[in-house]
Structure 1
Amino acid sequence: MLYKGSCHCGKVAFEVEGELEGVVRCNCSICARKGALLWAVPHDKLTLVAWGDDLGRYTFGETKIAHRFCRTCGIHPFAEDTSEGGERSAYININCVIGPDPSTLSIFEFDGRAV
């Protein structure tokens, strides 16, 4: 199924293809503060349709994940693996996707603090 989403102001917009069966709630220092519910998909299933100069990038720690955010409204619509090639993933913040009701999805609790 094709889903569409964006940041709050719409300057960063995307489409993602896949079957939404559940999400991950990570308790690492940034995900816990953002309150994101993440849907992991193969990176090639994420297509940016609007971003311009508005797409920011934040990494910390071992910089394995690039947390993407809109420089205008501050919303974090997705994150992505920083490695090149191989099996890269994108982590879609389901709260930024149009349509799905997060309260109806199964949630996997991930202990990101321990990583």
Structure 2
Amino acid sequence: MLYRGSCHCGDVKFDAQGDLQGVMACNCSICRRKGALLWFVPRAHVTFSTPDDNLATYTFNQHTIRHRFCKRCGIHTFAEATHPNGTEMVCINVRCLEDVDPDVLPVTHYDGRSR
């Protein structure tokens, strides 16, 4: 299924193709603060219609995950990383998807704080 997503102001827009399964809530220091629900999708299944100039990037700790957010409204829309198997992945904030009610999705809780 095709899902469309964006930040609050619309400067960051994307389409993601896949089954909306495996949604995760993480309690690590950054995920807890931004309140995102995470959906991992191979980078090849995501299309961005946003100039890279509209995005800011934040990294911390080992700098392996690039947390991306809108420069204008500050909404965290996704993150980018490489899976240990070498696949480029996009971690989409489900709360930024159009016509998706995150309250009805099964959510797995991940203990990122203890990692």
Q: 1:41 — aligned with what? A: 41
- Report the TM-score when normalising by structure 2: 0.93
- Once residues 110 and 64 of structure 1 are traced to their aligned partners in structure 2, the CA distance between those partners, rounded to angstroms, is 18
Q: 2:30 — aligned with what? A: 30
Q: Which ranges of 4 or more aligned residues in structure 1 deviate by more than 6 Å? A: none
Deviation at 1:43, TM superposition (A): 1.4
Q: 2:61 — aligned with what? A: 61
- Once residues 113 and 63 of structure 1 are traced to their aligned partners in structure 2, the CA distance between those partners, rounded to angstroms, is 16
Deviation at 1:21, TM superposition (A): 2.2
Q: Which runs of 5+ in 2 are unaligned?
A: none
- Once residues 11 and 82 of structure 1 are traced to their aligned partners in structure 2, the CA distance between those partners, rounded to angstroms, is 25
Deviation at 1:79, TM superposition (A): 0.5
- Once residues 21 and 64 of structure 1 are traced to their aligned partners in structure 2, the CA distance between those partners, rounded to angstroms, is 24
Secondary structure in 2 matching 1:67: strand
Return closer, same or farther for 1:70/1:80 CA change in 2, 3 Å cut-off. Answer: same
RMSD (Å) for aligned C-alpha atoms: 1.5
Q: Which runs of 5+ in 1 are unaligned?
A: none
Deviation at 1:82, TM superposition (A): 5.4
- Once residues 65 and 97 of structure 1 are traced to their aligned partners in structure 2, the CA distance between those partners, rounded to angstroms, is 21
Q: Is the 8 A contact 1:3 1:98 kept in 2?
A: yes
List per-residue Cα deviations over 1:61-103 (Å, max 9, x = no partner).
01111100001000000001058x9212111000000011101
1:19 maps to 2:28: no
Deviation at 1:51, TM superposition (A): 3.2
List per-residue Cα deviations over 1:6-42 (Å, max 9, x = no partner).
0000001000000012410011111100000000111
Deviation at 1:52, TM superposition (A): 4.4
- Report the TM-score when normalising by structure 1: 0.93
Secondary structure in 1 matching 2:63: coil
